Structures are given as structure tokens and as C-alpha cells.
Chain A
Amino acid sequence: DQQVKQNSPSLSVQEGRISILNCDYTNSMFDYFLWYKKYPAEGPTFLISISSIKDKNEDGRFTVFLNKSAKHLSLHIVPSQPGDSAVYFCAAVPGNEKLTFGTGTRLTIIP
């Protein structure tokens, strides 16, 4: 049972445009959500997070939006840069329990 779903395995975006990565979850107990970024041959690294008491969190070019009623979150990257090409994992955690990851979306930024 995949509690965190990333339905787009890949996404290509022109440099300078906005990249939007989507994530859906099923467990209503999740109260903290994170995005991790992974380059080839490296481990995932933390990118940005959001608590369930908020609906938006922004950090530079990265913004995460949370829609609790729809159990949906999204990561916006604007403007997209070639260095943003990576696999992005959505993750969620209920309280202080274990983190559950999605299957990832491979983002390719086209110069």
C-alpha cells in the first residue's frame, strides 16, 4: 500500500520556466511533509518541508504547497535551472514516527 504517491515518474521543463512536482498521500495522520532531492550516485538530501498547520512554505526558488483537504502537496521551482535536474522524492511523517517516501519524479531541465 503506497501511502505517498508520485504519479509522474518523469518531467521535462525548459530552463527558466516553472517546474511543478506533485505528490498525493492517503494517510490523514501525516502532519509533516518533506521534499528530498537526489543526484546520481549520491544519497537524497533535504530540500524543503512544510507542517500540516501551514499551506505554503517558501525558500528561495522553492515553494511547497499543501492542500490538506485534497491530501495533495506540490513543489514549485521557479525559475528552473540546469542544476535542478535530479530525482525528487516526496516524504511524509505522522508525529515522530518513521518517514514514508514516494517513488520519486525525475526532473530534467532542458537548457
Chain B
Amino acid sequence: DAGVIQSPRHEVTEMGQEVTLRCKPISGHNSLFWYRQTMMRGLELLIYFNNNVPIDDSGMPEDRFSAKMPNASFSTLKIQPSEPRDSAVYFCASSLFAGLLFFGSGTRLTVV
């Protein structure tokens, strides 16, 4: 089992550009989560899907952020336009039930 796979591992982009982060969950898991890690807020839930359907996107900071899960094996988190304050590590996680999450290695995003 390859675990949760995220790409890219690192992304450096200029302010105003579109950024797309990708995630492949563990096969068979029915829930997928996008988290953002910052020093001030720790691990912050942005959005989660259950059976490919967005359940709670209350953590998405602004309309600049959007997430999709077109099928059970793929999800994207898009930021358009990106801003320097979006710089953080973004984690994707999948699970069979809410408590036990399996995380990917994260994408470190730097917006300059």
C-alpha cells in the first residue's frame, strides 16, 4: 500500500498565479480531508469529502480556494489567485472513519 500520495512536494509560485495541489487517497478509504498547517493555527481543516461528496467546506478561507474530488482516487485543491499569506504546508489525508486519518507527506507552498 503506497499510502496517501500528494504532489508536488514543494511549490514556489508568484503572487497572483494559480496553484493546484493534488492528492491520491488510500484505495478503499471513503473520506478525504485537506488540512493546512501553520505555526499559529496548527493543523487546520479546510474541507473534507465523504464518498467523493464535499461534506464540510467551512474551513476554506476564501473564495480563492476550491477543492474537487472527481472520483474516489483523486482530489485537487486549487488556489486562484494565490497570495503570500497562503504560504503553508498543505496535507491531504484519507480514512475509513473520522478518527483514524492517514496523511500524505504534504505540499510545502511558498507564494512570493
- B-side binding surface: helix, strand, loop or mixed? strand
By the criterion of a CB under 8 Å from any partner CB, how many residues of chain B are at the interface? 24
Inter-chain contact A32/B43, CB cutoff 8 Å: no
Q: Cβ of B101 < 8 Å from any Cβ of A? A: yes
> Hey, which bits of chain B sit against chain A, CB under 8 A?
4, 33, 35, 40-45, 48, 55-56, 91, 93, 97-106
CB pairs A–B below 8 angstroms (19 shown): A34-B99, A34-B100, A42-B106, A43-B91, A43-B105, A44-B101, A44-B103, A89-B42, A89-B43, A91-B43, A96-B97, A98-B45, A98-B48, A98-B55, A98-B56, A98-B98, A101-B35, A101-B43, A104-B43
> Hey, which bits of chain A sit against chain B, CB under 8 A?
6, 32, 34, 36, 41-46, 49, 89, 91, 93, 95-104
